[in-house]
Structure 1
Amino acid sequence: MAERTEQRICIKSCFNLGKSCAKTIEMLQKAFKDECMDQSQMKEWYRRFKSGRRSVESDPRSGRPPTGTSSDNVERVRVAVEQDRRLTVRELEDELGISKSTVWRILTKSLGITRVCALISGNIDISILFNQMGTTLKDATPRMTKKKSSAKKSR
């Protein structure tokens, strides 16, 4: 976020120095390279300064602030996973009272965990697995039999 503010400061400076929008864009792209904001954003900020805006800070956004991934929730998920690594995302959802998507976001983004429960215990209905993969057992059967027959031929 700080880099965006720096770029807005540069746009404002170029505007105050009398540089054109095109020249400002060229200078920022040269200075910030891959980290540079889009041309449309630069044009928008240039237009704002031209219309009299003084602040380089973003305007406050409306809507609900993000509360799901609060530090308290991240800590609760971390402790629960440390106690039992075999918990699934749904079990964490039920246990902690946090939505499944928020639990998933905390695990992957905040904690860097890609798999919570890699072991599957109990009997598995294979049709459920195929449904989750977006295919049916009938669709997968020819592929499975082809692999087996080709494996026998190669031996």
Structure 2
Amino acid sequence: MDKKEFRLLIKYCFLKGKNTVEAETWLDADFPDTSSGKSTIKDRYVKFRRGEMSTEVGERSGRPKEIVINENI
């Protein structure tokens, strides 16, 4: 299972009214092959409570994806 699918399952738990402990228990029981961390579930719940319902990963600041070299210019 990829990360986007896992984020969708966390969103499903949130919308069903489960708390983070219930969500973690359900995910561990029904999807044992996923590596669900408590912090991941809690972070997603915080974002959902703020109204950020997207399951996409936002852009981050830092190193660019492409390196600028003379061949690229």
TM-score (norm 1): 0.39
Matches within 5 A, 1:139-150: none
Q: CA-to-partner distance for each residue in 1:104-152, whole Å, 9 max, x for gaps?
A: xxxxxxxxxxxxxxxxxxxxxxxxxxxxxxxxxxxxxxxxxxxxxxxxx
Match in the other structure for 1:30:
29
How many Å separate the matches in 1 of 2:36 and 2:66?
Answer: 27
- Quote the sequence identity (%): 34
In the alignment, structure 1 segments of 5+ residues that lack a partner are: 69-155
The structure with more radius of gyration: 1
User: How large is the RMSD of aligned CA atoms in angstroms?
Assistant: 1.8
Residue equivalent to 2:15:
16
Corresponding position of 1:55: 54
Aligned length: 67
Structure with more relative contact order (C-alpha pairs < 8 Å, separation 6 or more)? 2
Structure with the higher fraction of residues in helix conformation: 1
Q: Distance in 2 between matches of 1:15 and 1:51?
A: 12
Could you tell me whether the CA contact under 8 Å between 1:9 and 1:56 is conserved in 2?
Answer: yes
Tell me how far 1:67 sits from its aligned partner.
3.3
Q: State the shift of 1:35 in Å.
A: 2.3
Q: Find runs of 4+ consecutive structure 1 residues off by over 4 angstroms.
A: none
**d(CA) in 2 for partners of 1:37 and 1:28?**
7
| Runs of 5+ consecutive residues of structure 2 not aligned to the other structure | 68-73
Q: CA deviation at 1:64?
A: 2.2
Q: In the alignment, which residue of structure 2 is the partner of 1:40?
A: 39
